[in-house]
Amino acid sequence: MNEIKIFSPATVANVACGFDVLGFCLDTVGDEMTIRKVDKKGIFITKVEGFNLPMETELNVAGVSALAMYEAANPDCGFEIEIRKNIKPGSGIGSSAASAVGSVFGMNELLGQPFNKTELTVFAIKGEAFASKCEHADNLAPAIFGGFTLVKSVAPLEVLQIPVPNNLYATIIHPQIEIKTSEARAILPKEVALQDAITQWSNFGSLIHGLHTSDYPLIKRSLHDIIIEPHRSKLIPYFEEVKQAALQQGALGSGISGSGPSIFSLSEGLEQAKSVEKAIKKVYSKTNIEFDVFVSKINTEGIKIIK
Q: Which amino acid is at 218?
A: L
User: Which of 32, 34, 57, 128 does the annotation list as catalytic?
Assistant: 128
With binding defined as CB under 8 A, does residue 58 bind a second copy? Answer: no
166 lies in the binding site for a second copy (CB under 8 A) = no
| φ/ψ (deg, to 5) at 275 | -70, -30
Q: Which residues pair with 265 in a beta bridge?
A: 171, 254
CA dist 79 and 38 (Å) reads 5
Indicate whether 191 belongs to the interface with a second copy (CB under 8 A): yes
- Cis peptide bond upstream of 89, omega within 30: no
Position 207 contacts a second copy (CB under 8 A) = yes
Counting residues that bind a second copy (by CB under 8 A) gives 37
In the complex, what is the shortest distance from the CB of residue 205 to a second copy, in angstroms, rounded to a whole number? 5
Q: Is 20 a residue that touches a second copy (CB under 8 A)? A: yes
DSSP string for 89-150: TTSSS-HHHHHHHHHHHHHHHHTT--S-HHHHHHHHHHHHHHHHSS---TTHHHHHH-SEEE
Task: For residues 53 and 83, give the distance between their C-alpha atoms in angstroms, rounded to a whole number.
Answer: 10
CB nearer a second copy, residue 58 or residue 201 = 201
- In the complex, minimum distance from the CB of residue 193 to a second copy, in angstroms, rounded to a whole number: 6
Amino acid at 46: T
Separation of alpha carbons 12 and 168, rounded Å:
14
181 included as an active-site residue? yes
- Per-residue binding string, a second copy, 69-108, x by CB under 8 A, is ----------------------------------------
By CB under 8 A, residue 208 contacts a second copy:
yes
**Catalytic residue selected from 181, 240, 241, 300:** 181
Residue 183 CB coordination number (10 Å): 12
Among 49, 58, 71, 158, binds a second copy (CB under 8 A): 158
Candidates 11-19, 52-60, 138-146, 172-180 — which segment interacts with a second copy by CB under 8 A? 11-19
Nearest to 253 by CA among 219, 284, 207: 219
Q: Is 46 near a second copy (CB under 8 A)?
A: no
Beta bridge partners of 33: 6, 83
Q: Which residues contact 193 (CB under 8 A, 6 or more apart)?
A: none
Among 38, 72, 73, 160, binds a second copy (CB under 8 A): 160
- Measured from the CB atom, is 180 or 209 closer to a second copy? 209
In a 3-state reduction of DSSP, which class is residue 286?
Answer: coil
Binding segment for a second copy (CB under 8 A), chosen from 75-83, 87-95, 154-162, 290-298, is: 154-162
Q: With respect to a second copy, which residue has the nearer C-beta, 23 or 90?
A: 23
229 classed as catalytic: no
Q: Give the residue numbers marked as catalytic.
A: 128, 181
